[in-house]
Amino acid sequence: MCSKYSQLLLFIVCCNIVVAAVFSCTSKEHKKATKSDQYFVQGKVLYEVNCSNCHQKNGTGLGRLYPPIAKSDFLDNHFEEVICLIKNGKEGELIVNGTQYNMAMKGITKLTDLEIAEIVTYIYNAWGGQREAVEVKEVSSVLAGCSK
Ligand code: HEC
């Protein structure tokens, strides 16, 4: 009787551990997903206001004038430079997916570090890309090191 009781107790304790472990895992995942969803949604709005008149809503760019952002190899290879150019602008020759562009993009200086984190999260995930939410502190530290 006694041993049966302690077996039952052990069983209950084990169950609780398993349930707690599973629950804490899923709630952590959930938190992460919510943050990148939130950044993505905000970033989409900011992108459409600040960027889409040149790069277009769907990120395709416009002819030889404005380079594409969707599926751009420049995005894949220049994460930090993308953050810098959003804030500080860029001019001179630039090659995206084998096509040369040479116009100037003015920096959008009014954007806060948080807004840049949201925009970058959006453009790196909107068109088939996959990247975790970009942290504000990451944006701030990249911006501090931009060569103007
Ligand atoms: C007035 C038009 C204009 C606006 C608005 C604009 N851009 Fe650009 N963007 C350009 C041009 C032109 C270039 C190419 C610059 C060069 O040739 O050196 C460029 C280059 C880029 C590039 C690097 C090349 C590529 O396509 O991968 C990225 C990334 C980019 N812009 C993102 C943005 C984002 C994000 C915003 C909004 C926050 C934005 N741009 C707003 C015109 C614009």
What are the pLDDT digits (tens) for 12-38? Answer: 665 566 556 655 555 556 666 688 899
For a substitution probing ligand 1, which of 51, 75, 100, 106 has the most ligand atoms within 8 Å of its CB?
51
Q: Could you give the number of structural domains in the chain? A: 1
Nearest CA to ligand 1 atom 32: 86
Q: Is residue 22 part of a domain?
A: no
Measured distance CA(118)–CA(86) in Å, rounded? 12
- What's the pLDDT at 6? 74
* Domain contains 30: no
The answer to whether residue 3 sits within a structural domain is: no
- What is the model's pLDDT at position 31? 64
First vs last Cα of the chain: how many Å apart? 78
Residue 102, pLDDT score: 97
Low-confidence ranges of the chain (pLDDT < 70): 1-3, 9, 11-33, 148
Query: What range does the domain containing 92 cover?
Result: 35-144
Distance of CA 36 from the midpoint of ligand 1 (Å):
23
In a domain, 14, yes or no: no
Query: How many whole angstroms from 21 Cα to the centroid of ligand 1?
Result: 45
| Cβ 54 under 6 angstroms from ligand 1 | yes
Res 91: pLDDT? 96
CB of 44 within 6 A of ligand 1: the answer is no
Residue 45 and residue 61: Cα distance in Å, rounded? 17
Q: Is the CB of 139 under 6 A from ligand 1?
A: no
In a domain, 5, yes or no: no
pLDDT of residue 7: 76
What's the confidence (pLDDT) of residue 34? 86
Question: How many angstroms separate the alpha carbon of residue 18 from the centre of ligand 1?
Answer: 50
Q: What is the pLDDT of residue 118?
A: 98
CATH number of 136's domain: 1.10.760.10
Q: Residue 9 falls within a domain, yes or no?
A: no
| Residue 95 forms part of a structural domain | yes
Question: What is the structure's pLDDT at 123?
Answer: 98
107: in domain: yes
